[in-house]
Chain A
Amino acid sequence: MNRREFLQCAAVFAAGASSIPTSWALSNEQSRFLAGQTNYIDRKPLTYFNAAQRAAVTAAAEQVIPATDTPGATDAGVARFIELMVADWFNDAERAMFDAGLADLLARANGDFAALSGKQQLQLLEQLEAEAGDAQWYNLGNVTRVWDSEAPFICQFKELTVLGFMLSEVGGTQFLRENPMGSFNGSLALAEDDSAYAAELPMRMLSAETGL
C-alpha cells in the first residue's frame, strides 16, 4: 500500500468511526478495496488525443458545463473521461464520427480552439448545434438508450461531457449530492435549490432492459 492509498483507507475508516453505524459498514476488505481503487479517469495515462485536440476538448467541455458557483467540467476532469471513452468505449464508427467532428472543430478554429476567446468558442459550438438541429439525438425521450450511434459530433460531445461530469466525484458530490444511506424516508420536503441525487448507475442501464 502506498502513502496515498493509506491515507484514503484512513479517511474511510475515520469516516466509519465517526458517522457510519457499524451495523451497516462495509467489510474491512471491501472498504480497503474501494479506498484503494483510483477513480476511473485516473487509472491510466491518456494517449489518444494530441495536445491541440486535448486542449480543444478541455475548453469545449468547459463551455458545455462551466464553473459557476459550483465546479465545472475542468474541475471534474471531464476531458480525461472523454478521451478514455472515445479511445476505449466507442465503436469504430462512433470514433470515426468523433474524430472527424473534432478535426472539423479545430479547422474552424484555425487549429487552436482553446486559443479562441470564450465568446468565439461558444459561437462555434452553437454553430455546430444549429447545423445538427434535426438530429434525432434531440428527440424527446431519446435518453434511455445506451448510446445513440447516429449522434453527430456535437451531440456525442455534449453527452460525454454530461456523463463525465454528473457521474464524476466532483459532479456527484459538489454539484449533485449523495443520497444519504441509513434509513428510508419517502416524504421529505424538497427545497427550492436542492439538487438531485448522484446516480449510482446511469438510469439507461435499467432502461435498456425495460424499454422505459
Chain B
Amino acid sequence: MSATQFDAIVVGSGISGGWAAKELTEKGLKVLVLERGKDIKHGQDYRGEHAPSWKIPFHGMPDREQNERDYFVQSSSYAFSEATRQYWNNDRLNPYVRSEEKPFDWFRSDVVGGRSLLWGRQVYRWSEQDFNANATDGHGIPWPVSYEEIAPWYSYVEKFIGVSGQAENLPQLPDSEFLPPMDYYEIEKTAKARINKKMPHIPMTIGRVAILTEEHNGRAPCHYCGPCQRGCSTGSYFSSQSSTLPAAQATGNLTLMPDQVVERLDHDASGTRITAVRTINTQTGERSIFSAKLFFLCASTLGSTQIMLNSTSEQHPNGLSNRSGALGKYLMDHLQMIHLGIMVDDVNSYYEGNRPNGLYIPRFRNLTGQDEDADFVRGFGIQAIPMRGDWQTTFNSKGFGADYKASLKKPNPMWIWALSAFSECLPQAQNQAYLHASKVDRFGIPQLATEFEWGANERALANDTGKQAAELFRAAGAVYYITNDESNMETGGGAIHEMGTARMGDDPTQSVLNKYNQAHEIDNLFVTDGSFMTSASCVNPSLTYMAFTARACDYAVKQLQAGHYG
C-alpha cells in the first residue's frame, strides 16, 4: 500500500468516535478525527452552564417560532432548551426524509463531542440473557459475541469513564466497576421499603450513571447543579469533550477537524480495502480527500449507515459491505412509556442539590424463559424519578394579591413519582433507513429516509409496563396514579437509542459486520456506533458501544501490526 496521510481515520467525535480516537492514538497510531459539527471547547463554550432562568431568553420558555422553523425534530427532546440549543442539529439545514405514515425522530448533535454532551449518562451492562435473546426466541440473528467475551471490555471502559452505582449481584443486570452510589430521596426510601415488602421479587437500585461521586482520573466529583446537558466544565459526567478527546490529544497523535461532513468512502480496485474518505467543509464547501490504513465509522447509527449507503461502486452496488442487504434495515430504538404516581408521604422532607439520576428497576419480566402471563417476549427496565410539585403545578388558580402570592411560595405537599419504562424493541426488516431517490442536502448528498413502526410485541410490552407500573404504585402507597398503554406510544427514535442498521453476525449473508465490528467484505473498515447492534436489550446502550469500540480498536491494531493491511 502506498504511503497514507494518517494511520487511521475516525468519522465522528461522539461517544464511539471519542473512544476510537483515544484507543488508536494511545496505541501509537496517527489518527484523524473528522467531525461534521462545529468546534466547541470544553468548559469555555458551555454557554448555558449554570445560567439562571433570568439570563436565558424568554426566561427559558421555548422559542416556538425558531423551533418550528429550524429545530422541528430536535426541539421535542427533553434535553433541548434555549440553554442547549447550540449543541443540536439544525433540521432545516441538515434535513432527512421523515415518513409521515411511519415517522422516526432522528435526534442529532452538531458539535465536537456529539451527543456525548447531551446523553442521559445512564450506563448498564448487558446480561448473558441479552446476548442470547435472538438465538433463544428466534427474532433477529444470533449475536456473534457472548457476555463472557465482552465483560472485560466493559470493565476496561468503566474504569476510565467512572460509573457510580450499587453492586446488586443480579444475573439480569451485571454489576459494573463502581464508584460510590448517589444518595436516595426520603420518598424513594419509603417507596422502596414498601415495594420490597409487597413485591419482593422486584429489585430496585440507584441509577448507574457515568457521573463521578469522587475524584476520578483527574476529573472532579459532581456538584449536583442538575442539568448536565448544558455541559459540565468540571468534566464530572463522561463526554468525549471531558475525557476521551483530551486523552487522545495528550498522545500528540490526534488531528481533529470539525466542519467536515463525510460524503463517501473510496476503495481500491479489489473492493476489499478502503483507501480514502471524501469530505466537504460545511462552512466553505471545499472538498477534500484523506487517506489512511484503517477507517472507523462512528458517525452515529444513521450517520454511518448513510455514508455506507452512499459509497456505492461496481463491487458494492448496494452500499459498502452490503451483499446481505441488511445495511439500513433492522432499525431499532427503545420504547419509552411514562407512568405517573402521586405520593403524599415524606412531604416534610426536602433536598439540597439536584441529583441528575433516578432509581432503576431492572428487568423483572420473562427472566427465566417466558412468564406465564406475558403475551410478549423480552422485557423492560424502569427509571424512576421523583419530582416535587411547586408553583408551577398550582399557578392556574383563581385569585389575586397576597393570598395568591402566598399560595405559590412553598413546595406542594406531594411528590410526583414518574416511572419511565424502556422496553426492548425487536429487529424488523421493514423498520429501515435508505437513501431517498431524488432529495439531496445542501452539499448534494442524498438525504436519508426513514420508516419505522412499533410491532405487536412492543405494543404488548407497552401495555404490560402500564399494568406493572400500576402494581408498583399501589405497593409504594401512591394515592393516585395515571398509566399509559399502546394508545399513547412515543414516536420511534424518541428514546434516542437508535441502533441496528449495520448489524453484526457470524453469517455474512445476513449481516454487515463480523464479531469485531469489521465489515465482512472490507477488512480495514470498522463500524462501532449503534449501527452494529444485532438486538436492543432494554438497557441504555452507550456503555455497550464504548466496550465494543475499545475491543474493535484492539483487534484492528493487532491486525495492522501483524501486517494484514500492508
Query: For B58, what are the chain A residues with a Cβ–Cβ distance below 8 Å?
Result: 40, 84-85, 88-89
For A136-147 the 0/1 string (1 means CB < 8 A from B) is 011100111011
Whether B351 lies near A184 (C-beta < 8 A) is: yes
Name the contact of A40 in the complex, choosing from B49, B56, B188 (C-beta under 8 A): B56
Which one of B195-203, B314-322, B409-417 contacts A? B409-417
For B73-87 the 0/1 string (1 means CB < 8 A from A) is 000111001010000
Whether A126 lies near B393 (C-beta < 8 A) is: no
Whether A175 lies near B409 (C-beta < 8 A) is: yes
Whether B54 lies near A209 (C-beta < 8 A) is: no
Whether A27 lies near B390 (C-beta < 8 A) is: no
Docked complex Cα distance between A211 and B490 (Å) = 10
A109 at the interface (CB under 8 A from B): no
Whether A196 lies near B234 (C-beta < 8 A) is: no
- Pick from A24, A176, A195, A208 the residue with the most CB of B within 10 Å: A24
Docked complex Cα distance between A85 and B406 (Å) = 25
B546 at the interface (CB under 8 A from A): no
Whether A27 lies near B233 (C-beta < 8 A) is: yes
Name the contact of A186 in the complex, choosing from B351, B401, B411 (C-beta under 8 A): B351
Q: How many residues of B contact A (CB 8 A)?
A: 83
Whether A200 lies near B348 (C-beta < 8 A) is: no
Docked complex Cα distance between A41 and B53 (Å) = 11
B137 at the interface (CB under 8 A from A): no
Query: For B217, what are the chain A residues with a Cβ–Cβ distance below 8 Å?
Result: none
B352 at the interface (CB under 8 A from A): yes
Which one of B169-177, B224-232, B289-297 contacts A? B224-232
- Pick from A68, A125, A155, A186 the residue with the most CB of B within 10 Å: A186
Task: Give, as a whole number of angstroms, the nearest-CB distance from B416 to chain A.
Answer: 7
How extensive is the interface on chain A, given as a class? 35 or more
Evaluate whether A205 and B62 lie within 8 angstroms (CB atoms) in the complex, with A30-B49, A185-B183, A195-B410 already known.
Answer: yes
Whether B224 lies near A27 (C-beta < 8 A) is: no
Task: Give, as a whole number of angstroms, the nearest-CB distance from A39 to chain B.
Answer: 5
Evaluate whether A166 and B223 lie within 8 angstroms (CB atoms) in the complex, with A66-B401, A201-B81 already known.
Answer: no
For B177-200 the 0/1 string (1 means CB < 8 A from A) is 000001111101100000000000
Binding site for A on B (CB under 8 A): 43-47, 49-65, 76-78, 81, 83, 182-186, 188-189, 215, 220-227, 233-234, 236, 338, 340, 347-355, 387-388, 390-398, 400-402, 404-406, 408-411, 416, 418, 420, 484, 488
5 contacts across the A-B interface (CB closer than 8 A): A23-B234, A85-B61, A169-B52, A184-B183, A203-B387
Q: Which 3 A-B pairs have the closest CB atoms?
A: A29-B44, A27-B43, A24-B223
